Chain A
Amino acid sequence: NAGVTQTPKFQVLKTGQSMTLQCAQDMNHNSMYWYRQDPGMGLRLIYYSASEGTTDKGEVPNGYNVSRLNKREFSLRLESAAPSQTSVYFCASSRRTSGGADTQYFGPGTRLTVL
């Protein structure tokens, strides 16, 4: 049981290049999320997917697209990378507990630098 996995772990891009960050979970969770984390800014939600086949914008969606490929996989695409997208990207999945908690399980993160 690997939990949430992300690839790649590190990436350097030049301005204008594109790339896709991959995320997969093996916990049979319905909901998945993409966050970015910048120093002093905490975690900011980029996009989320409540269930297979649905996606919604979060707090900072501009410059990103997502695909919920199936229940396990949720990818994040940068079409034309910009230096402002230099950040650490976390994927997460969640389940509702009997007590109502929406516990999120995070992947190890992708450290992206855009030059």
Chain B
Amino acid sequence: GQSLEQPSEVTAVEGAIVQINCTYQTSGFYGLSWYQQHDGGAPTFLSYNALDGLEETGRFSSFLSRSDSYGYLLLQELQMKDSASYFCAVRSPGGGYQKVTFGTGTKLQVIP
């Protein structure tokens, strides 16, 4: 089966840097994605890592280590609007490449 682990809650100060970790156990692996979801809203795609290393998109970066089955999302220069839930998701084989398993999410609270 598939399982992903993320911290349930993280609090950080506006302007600071925060890292949200994700460890996974899957049968096969294609890539790790990150999604953001504001309260009452729909998830929106942030980033994707298929290979080891760091991917940077503006203030957000995502890292993957396939050998450690581990990834993280790094948010820099935190803003109040970054308060949201963040989900990691693994894409893996099984019924086609479309099999996607989401973690239970990390609720980030940004405080002044």
Contact = CB atoms under 8 A, between A and B. Distances in A.
Interface size class, chain A: 20 to 34
Contacts of B31: 100-102
Nearest to B95: A56
A44 interface: yes
Contacts of A97: 48
B81 to A, nearest CB: 19
Nearest to B87: A42
Given A105-B45, A107-B42, A45 B33 contact: no
Contact of B45 (A41, A99, A103): A103
Contact of B104 (A40, A56, A107): A40
Given A90-B42, A106-B42, A43 B102 contact: yes
Interface of B: 8, 30-31, 33, 35, 41-45, 48, 50, 87, 89, 91, 95-105
9 contacts: A40-B8, A43-B43, A43-B89, A45-B99, A48-B95, A99-B50, A100-B50, A104-B33, A105-B45
